[in-house]
Amino acid sequence: MHDDFSSNMRLLCSYYRSIAEVCRRLDINRSQFNRYLSGRYRPSAHILRRFCDFFGVEEYEIFLPHEQFQRLIKVRPSRSASDVEVTQEALPEIAHLQKLGERGTAGLTNYLGFYFEYYMSMARPGKILRTLVRLEQRAQRVYYQRTERFQESPEDAVYHCIYLGVAHFLTDRIFLVDYESLTGHEISETILFPTFKNRVTRLNGLKLGVSGNGERMPCCARVVYEYLGASVDVTRALSLCGLYAPDSHELDPGLAHTVQNTMDAQDTHFRAYR
């Protein structure tokens, strides 16, 4: 199987000007890559996924018998070096996002699951907004969905906004970047302190976005993520989402205090509470 893999890899590399170019584009050490080409070593699952994404083949295909793989490649539109150059030139952010994703996934496993998110509403001043967030791992990345559900009064319609994003753990901070998927009118970023306890309970941080009303004012707010568990009754959790008065008996008083956006006299920047 390793002989077929190495032969298939060499065939794929032949569509490029040199092995050195392939290594440069993959950002992999040449001597390490040569070990895979020789058939002496099989790459890890993570590196194998990078190879397959780069060459445009599936993981099972790259281990096919070499003659079968040759026939498959001949009838498939090839990704030549010029094709890759055009793609990278037209979409240079792809390489940056891939590198960021590789660095920022480790350490997030303990934070997967469901959360209530709390912050002072940017569109409804004076109200605390509770939303439902789910972090999950897919294809070696951590993605999340943030769902807002609210209504002004029992007589009004219920509104939903769904934000989709990706999470990164860089050094000792959790970064969440998402966009509003229904209209595409908003990108928001949240930065959280990780927990240094064995059990995740609450995560504090700051949130940057724009108000959802017609003003679309750029705003920054303190935010709290309250961990609910690896699985929840989603329908029940969503029913608890919405707008709350800061003194509502349905909110923890300590949590309501943590999301207040006041500054101390000595502060020169708006800061998160730890």
**Class in CATH terms, 109-258:** mainly beta
Cβ neighbors of 250 (< 8 A, separation 6 or more) are 240, 244
pLDDT at residue 26, as a whole number:
85
CA-CA distance, 189 to 76, in Å (whole number)?
40
Can you tell me the distance from the alpha carbon of 62 to that of 67, in angstroms, rounded to the nearest whole number? Answer: 12
Amino acid at 104: G
Q: What CATH superfamily classification does 2-91 receive?
A: lambda repressor-like DNA-binding domains (1.10.260.40)
pTM of the model: 0.67
- Per-residue pLDDT of 113-145, as tens digits, reads 999 999 999 988 899 999 999 999 987 789 999
The answer to whether 128 and 244 are in contact (CB under 8 A) is: yes
Whether the CA torsion 248, 250, 254, 260 is positive or negative: it is negative
What pLDDT does residue 121 have?
Answer: 93
Task: Identify the burial level of 29 via C-beta atoms within 10 angstroms of its C-beta, where 0-12 means exposed, 13-18 middle and 19 or more buried.
Answer: exposed
Nearest to residue 94, comparing CAs of 17, 170, 27? Answer: 27
Q: Which amino acid is at 30?
A: R
Per-domain residue ranges of the chain: 2-91, 109-258
What digits encode the pLDDT tens for the residues 6-64? 999 999 998 888 898 888 888 888 888 998 898 888 888 888 888 888 888 888 888 88
